[in-house]
Amino acid sequence: MRLCRIRPELVRHPLPDVAAEVRRQLDGLQLAVPRGEVAVTAGSRGIAQIPLILRTVGDWLRERGAKPFAVPAMGSHGGATAEGQRRMLEGLGMTATALGMDIRASMEVARLGAVSTGDVWMDRQCFAAAGVVVVNRVKLHTCFAGPLQSGLVKMMVVGMGKVNSARTFHEARAARMRDMLVEMGALVLNSGKILAGLAILEDGCDQTAEIHALRPDEILQQEPLLLERHRRYFPRLPVDDLNVLIVKEIGKNYSGSGMDTNVIGYRGIKGGEDLDRPRIRVIAALGLSEQSQGNAFGVGLADFITRRLRDAMDEAKTLTNVLTAGEMIRAKIPATLPDDEQLIGAIAARFGERRWMFIANTLHLETLYVSEDLLPELRGRADCAVDSEPFAPRFEGGKLELTF
């Protein structure tokens, strides 16, 4: 097999001064900032410049007399332990020093009320604070479609509610999750604890493109509009039909499901609505990101993995996450090969060497590699540049040597 490097034309729209835009947006709300303690949410995703964004929020609050602190808001991630969630933040660069404020990690919650699938909860430290600034990226969700997907409301409902609210949310089937966000989100907003929301949109190259500050009474109405804006930036594979997709690394920092299902075209939910493209026959994952700290949730979306990935799994953390989500397919162990070279060789021997694509992960798609037979489809397209002559992939100690 010979490969060529491809550079898709992704939407690039990086903000020139992220900190200044955070301040401008917050200033525009004209909030009456309380002088007591104010919580700022920090999640488990790899969001561009998130330490700077959170630090700027903290500085802005402090300048107005508040006492900000950061709270891990990530449902059941980090093994559903306070220390595990703190370590996840630190692995993403969100240390107390980087944020300029204390990180208060706890799994204790306060009950806010109930919906049809169970009780709704809030991190107890957020509940005890004078207010909460919710910060999150708005993007497509990996389980369901709808006007509200991954964003401020989901951070309030699942992230701030810890494992308790995460279970309540995931008790709903995928078709009802969009409705659960509204029901549970309304309960959180009615608590009076939400001071503001700060929504982040990223461009096709995973850079901060837009920041929007919202008052609590604007969140449920405005977030669907922000999700539609996000669709303009969302990167997709340049080919709809693939025989084999090789993903160099999966992980929670790339997607809540390890691999973004909107990129791979497969949600892995029994009886749930699936995606119609791309259509990929075989998916293989080679490694697990260090930032995931062993949580391999989503590994079951692959058909093949390496022994390296399997050995990197923390089964307890992965089990905690999948039990909370309730979609057991996502934690099933795929066929495991000793290393990259043997995995690729086995797939090629069984499924052929045509229509292959290699990506770094599902979040960063600015560089990818395709098998030589795909060149006629891609060459000459305005949205995709062929960036190398065909070459044979190299392996070092069984590990694939590709630079993304």
- Please give the structure tokens belonging to residue 143: 């389980």
The residue among 74, 71, 49, 50 whose CA lies nearest residue 297 is 74
Read off the amino acid at residue 303.
Answer: D
Taking 90 as the threshold, does the pLDDT of residue 60 lie above it? yes
Q: Residues 23-41: what's their mean pLDDT?
A: 97
Amino acid 81: pLDDT: 93
- What pLDDT, in 10s, does the model give residues 285-341? 999 999 999 999 999 999 999 999 999 999 999 999 898 888 888 999 999 999 999
User: 226: pLDDT confidence band, cut at 50, 70 and 90?
Assistant: very high
Query: What b/e string do you get for 337-349 counting C-beta neighbours within 10 Å, with b at 16 or more?
Result: bebbbebbeebbe
Token couple for 8: 């898709």
Domain ranges of the chain: 3-9+236-401, 18-233
Share of the chain above pLDDT 70, in %: 99
4 token code pair: 């060529």
The answer on pLDDT for 236 being more than 80 is: yes
Spatial distance between the Cα atoms of 216 and 204, rounded to a whole number of angstroms: 28
Selection from 192, 189, 193, 209 nearest residue 201 by Cα = 209
Of 117, 180, 177, the residue nearest 142 (C-alpha)? 177
Express each pLDDT in 79-114 by its tens digit. Answer: 889 999 999 999 999 999 999 999 999 999 999 999
What whole-number distance in Å separates Cα of residue 10 and Cα of residue 384? 9
- For 39, 46, 139, 222, 237, the CA distances from 145, given in Å and listed in that order, are 30, 22, 11, 17, 19
Kindly indicate the confidence band of residue 353, based on its pLDDT and cuts at 50, 70 and 90: very high
Instruction: Let me know if domain 18-233 sits in CATH 3.40.50.11440.
Output: yes
Is 273's pLDDT higher than 70? Answer: no
Residue 276, pLDDT score: 80
